[in-house]
Amino acid sequence: MPNNDFMWLVLEPFVHCAVSGSNALLYNTVNKTCLVSKGSEEIADKIRQLLVPQNGYVTGIRKEELALPVFRKFMAELRKKFMGDLHDPAWSSSKPFNVVPEPVVKSKSEALSNYLGEVTFHVNSSALPGLEKFRAGYLQFPFPLSATAPGEALSTDRIRAVASMMNPLPFATVNFVGTGICREPIHSQLTEIFRDTPFRTIFHIPLWDLSMPLPARMNKNEQLAIYVTFPVSPRQLELLAAATGQYPRKGGPDVNFIVQNNDEVDQASEIISGTGLRRFFFKPYLNGENMDFFREQVFMSEDDILASKPTQNQVFSRLTMNEHDFGKLTVFPNGEVYANVNDEPLGNLDEFSLEELAGKERDRKTSWMRRRTELDPCRDCLYRFLCPPVSNYEILMKKFNFCHIHS
């Protein structure tokens, strides 16, 4: 093309693009604005050209193309959102130099301390009356009921052995999940293991456990997460109010309401306002029959996705790993270790060290690296790098689109 026949279209290096058919999306990670173009082959083709690695986010655009209303509108929006601009080729003898936003994955050191950030111990697998219907709870969140045989328990010696393998870690979260784990002597045995570490320890217990006194003393790094399932009896409500009142930390314990329908959401809201809870969470429970509830309460709309406004770092991590799972291991009462409890176990602590098990996950890349760019239908979706990481619900259902975009 002669120099006066075209302009260079240059995108800013903090802008991420996705194209699908005749649709295109551009996202500015600095001012968090989005430009969505739907149904224009011309714009989609131009974005495809920008994404060709050799083009480096710079491509030519002819003056007659620029005269088209669709391009004029696109360019006006691109400039308004500080996503890119046109460069006159007369300004330099060569194509403008640009930087393309791509994550660089360093794998220099394989030391555990470089990536392990959280270990969850399912301490026991008691089957409490009334909890049977939440059998799949542990596959969705750290629910205090495990899938292994009832009565099986993780010995403190085994937990101590794992703790010694975690010792070089500068910082980590340790979750204890189970029933009766805040009672003595087990509470003292567990806290003693991590007393002299910088690790944060969180005890995940069912509401039923509040019928026994909570530990009188807690370590400064220790937290409590209570799981409330419905129906909640008046006695349990009293216990919850008493436990939150006695809780030695500002803000109170984390109270997780396991909700299966809108009625339970309403009941939880009443409890929250009646007891003045300050740290509460809703954990929707997928029971196999309440997909309509999930569609209404959990599935993301386009507005929800655009409102998430990820930073450049978050976009990079969504392109390379699963932020929910990366650096996390779960130990079951029988010693089996998982990178995600919905996937095959990595192996047993009887045979492998923590470092070897983490190394296995690094090699197989099943859980920690599960990302939308490699799953259907997300891989062809415009929102694949804006959507939150794949959730346990989606892995459990093998349905990677808990959204209203491709449902």
Query: Which stretches of the chain bind ligand SF4, using CB under 6 A?
Result: 305, 372, 377-378, 381, 383-384, 387, 401, 403, 405-406
Element containing residue 5 per DSSP (H, E): none
- Kind of pairing between the strands at 336-338 and 328-331: antiparallel
User: Minimum CB separation from ligand SF4 for residue 142, in Å?
Assistant: 23
How far is it, in rounded angstroms, from Cα 58 to Cα 152? Answer: 61
> Between 235 and 399, whose beta carbon lies closer to ligand SF4?
399
Q: Which tokens belong to 119?
A: 């270990």
Q: Which tokens belong to 16?
A: 């991420």
Q: Which tokens belong to 250?
A: 């500002």
How far is it, in rounded angstroms, from Cα 192 to Cα 207? Answer: 24
User: Minimum CB separation from ligand SF4 for residue 403, in Å?
Assistant: 3
> Between 184 and 376, whose beta carbon lies closer to ligand SF4?
376
Residue showing tokens 């006006």: 76
- Kind of pairing between the strands at 347-348 and 280-284: unpaired
102: amino acid identity, one letter: E
> Between 95 and 324, whose beta carbon lies closer to ligand SF4?
324
> Between 122 and 372, whose beta carbon lies closer to ligand SF4?
372
**Is the previous residue joined to 185 through a cis bond, with omega within 30 degrees of 0?**
yes
> Between 177 and 378, whose beta carbon lies closer to ligand SF4?
378
User: Minimum CB separation from ligand SF4 for residue 257, in Å?
Assistant: 25
> Between 260 and 401, whose beta carbon lies closer to ligand SF4?
401
Under 8 Å between Cβ of 204 and 227:
yes
User: Minimum CB separation from ligand SF4 for residue 261, in Å?
Assistant: 23
User: Minimum CB separation from ligand SF4 for residue 306, in Å?
Assistant: 10
Distance of CA 56 to the CA centre of its chain: 30
User: Minimum CB separation from ligand SF4 for residue 339, in Å?
Assistant: 21
Under 8 Å between Cβ of 378 and 401:
yes
